[in-house]
Amino acid sequence: MTLPRLRLTALDCPNALELGYFYEKLTGGTLEPLGDLLPEEVTWIELDTGHGTLAFQQIDDFVSPTWPGGDKPQQLHLEFLVPDLDAGEEFVLSLGGTKAEHQPGQSFRIYLDPVGHPFCLIKQP
């Protein structure tokens, strides 16, 4: 039997295109073309990061996760390597991300994307 291969990771969100643009800027990846769709018609879009694919799926009743716990805990998180945590933080904040209050480590920092999904910047060894 051939083992399954992971094709992509999809994030639920209130606006697929807006969150796609955030991660496109964060990763330097490329969002798939919209084709004949108008921006307001996009409910699913994929981003080729060069190291894997992220997808964004619009959910009408989306509720942001609470992190590190709470009523709506995270179901997954993304991790990105950076050579400099301070420069990485400045970049994330300039894109509209926010630094999470709870910071449990020294070699990584936790942020929230514009709709509340947690993700980490990790100091590249």
User: What tens digit of pLDDT does each residue of 43-98 get?
Assistant: 999 999 999 999 999 999 999 998 888 888 887 889 999 999 999 999 999 999 99
pLDDT score of 2 more than 80: no
pLDDT score of 38 more than 70: yes
Query: Residues 6 or more apart from 77 whose CB is under 8 A from it?
Result: 117, 118, 119, 120
CA distance 87 to 118: 19
Q: What is the mean pLDDT of residues 109-119?
A: 95
Element (H, E) at 23: helix 16-27
Per residue in 5-23, pLDDT tens? 878 999 999 999 999 999 9
DSSP 20: H
Q: What is the mean pLDDT of residues 107-118?
A: 94
Predicted local confidence at residue 3, as pLDDT: 65
Q: What is the pTM of this model?
A: 0.87
Instruction: For the chain, give percent helix, strand, coil, nearest 5.
Output: 20, 30, 50
CA distance 110 to 88: 11
Domains of the chain: 9-58 (3.30.720), 78-123 (3.10.180.10)
Burial class (CB in 10 A: 0-12, 13-18, 19+), 20: buried
